[in-house]
Amino acid sequence: MNIIFNAILLTLVFVITSREVSAYLDPGTGSFIFQLIVGALLGGIFTIKIYFKKIKLFFVKLFTKKNNDQRK
């Protein structure tokens, strides 16, 4: 816990005391970020597709219990 606090404190010190920095992002950086976003979205969709029956069954049970409780 103490290590995490020290790392956060050190990061804040560097951010607060930093001077102007000249940085260069090459054109490939935007393409790389785009690929990461598309890959994450497609991975999430594929994961949902794999577990769709379990997710659907969970919600059916969830709403079925609520309906049965309201009828009593």
> Do the domain assignments include residue 56?
yes
> Do the domain assignments include residue 8?
no
44, amino acid identity: G
Domain ranges, residue 45: 27-72
> Do the domain assignments include residue 31?
yes
> Do the domain assignments include residue 61?
yes
CA distance 26 to 20: 19
What pTM value is reported for the model? 0.46
Q: What is the mean pLDDT of residues 43-55?
A: 90
> Do the domain assignments include residue 4?
no
Q: How many domains does the chain have?
A: 1
What are the angstrom distances between the C-alpha of 55 and each of 28, 31, 40, 42, 49? 38, 33, 20, 18, 10
> Do the domain assignments include residue 3?
no
DSSP state at residue 23: -
Give the model's pLDDT for residue 46. 92
> Do the domain assignments include residue 19?
no
Give the model's pLDDT for residue 72. 53
Q: What is the mean pLDDT of residues 32-61?
A: 92
